[in-house]
Copies of this chain bind each other. A is one copy, B any other.
Amino acid sequence: MTVRVGVLGARGKVGREVCRAVRDADDTELVAEVDAGDPLGALEESGVEVVVDFTSPDVVMANLEHCVARGIHAVVGTTGFDAERIATLRGRLDDAPGVGVLIAPNFSVGAVLMMRFAAEAAAFYESVEVVELHHPDKADAPSGTARRTAELVAAARAEAGLGPAPDATRTSLPGARGADVDGVPVHAVRLRGLVAHQEVLLGGEGETLTIRHDSFDRASFTPGVLAGVRAIADRPGLTIGLEHVLWPS
């Protein structure tokens, strides 16, 4: 049985990759491609079951209002969901029992695994640092994923009762020890040729554990989107974070 999928933002760089992935998979069918200017009504006419939305913060709420009201599930990669938007969305989902929406800040399965493993391992290690490495056209340092990783790791350390990591540095050049995110040093490398990479280094007496994610290609997020598409019909209400789809509990 295949899932009938519509893509919102279908002509954007990300949207095109989603369309290709939906077409290529055996168990999904691409029935609607919608972009700015196209009528949303095309969705229900196509018999779509799940939409994937990679549009913009300006239009995503209207898109979701339209879909949820018509019983269409949604998998959303568009950013900009603050507490107010999430509350609004929950309200609409309360009025549409059986409809599911998945919002995920990161659809890369590898990035989600890296963050989860790092947080789980953190309780067992005295030291932890994050090194992220990206192409030099990136505007923010460190990356959002690196910050999020550091926050999750810091929370896991706190829960395990670990104090600050040891650091005897007395003389230092400014910046040498990285940025401080909740007590976890985060280092950002920018290098022509790289794409998007991150290492979490954990260290204890006589050993280290390193978890590294390398993203070589824009297409690396599509397996996560497809996992969401396959699962969302069985998860009514709002789901935030790909991890809940990957490891349903």
Residue numbers of A with Cβ under 8 A of B are: 108-110, 113-114, 117, 120-121, 124-129, 131, 133, 136-142, 147, 165-181, 185-195, 201-220, 222-223, 246
Question: What are the residues of chain B within 8 A of A110 when measuring CB–CB?
Answer: 124, 202, 204, 207-209
Contact B129 A189 (CB under 8 A): yes
A-B contacts besides A142-B173, A193-B220, 19 pairs, CB < 8 Å: A110-B207, A110-B208, A117-B120, A117-B211, A127-B190, A127-B191, A131-B131, A139-B169, A139-B171, A140-B169, A140-B172, A141-B173, A174-B179, A187-B189, A205-B222, A206-B216, A207-B215, A207-B220, A209-B211
Least CB separation from A193: chain B residue? B203
Chain B nearest Cβ from A163, distance in angstroms: 13
- Tell me the complex Cα distance, A13–B108, Å: 29
Question: What are the residues of chain B within 8 A of A133 when measuring CB–CB?
Answer: 201
Q: How many copies of this kind of chain does the complex include?
A: 4
Chain B nearest Cβ from A132, distance in angstroms: 9
Contact B206 A220 (CB under 8 A): yes
Contact A166 B136 (CB under 8 A): yes
Contact A171 B140 (CB under 8 A): yes
The one of B174, B208, B214 in contact with A207, judged by C-beta atoms closer than 8 angstroms, is B214
Contact A203 B194 (CB under 8 A): yes
Contact B177 A188 (CB under 8 A): yes
- Tell me the complex Cα distance, A195–B188, Å: 22
Question: What are the residues of chain B within 8 A of A223 when measuring CB–CB?
Answer: 124, 204-205
Question: What are the residues of chain B within 8 A of A246 when measuring CB–CB?
Answer: 124
Least CB separation from A113: chain B residue? B121
Contact B208 A210 (CB under 8 A): no
- Tell me the complex Cα distance, A109–B124, Å: 8
- Tell me the complex Cα distance, A114–B139, Å: 31
Closest 5 CB pairs of A and B: A206-B217, A206-B220, A191-B203, A173-B179, A207-B220
Given A136-B166, A220-B206, are A189 and B212 also a contact pair (CB < 8 Å)? no
Given A133-B201, A177-B175, A209-B110, are A216 and B193 also a contact pair (CB < 8 Å)? yes
- Tell me the complex Cα distance, A219–B126, Å: 15
Contact A205 B178 (CB under 8 A): no
- Counting chain B CB atoms within 10 Å of each CB, which of A142, A185, A204, A208 scores highest? A208
- Tell me the complex Cα distance, A203–B133, Å: 11
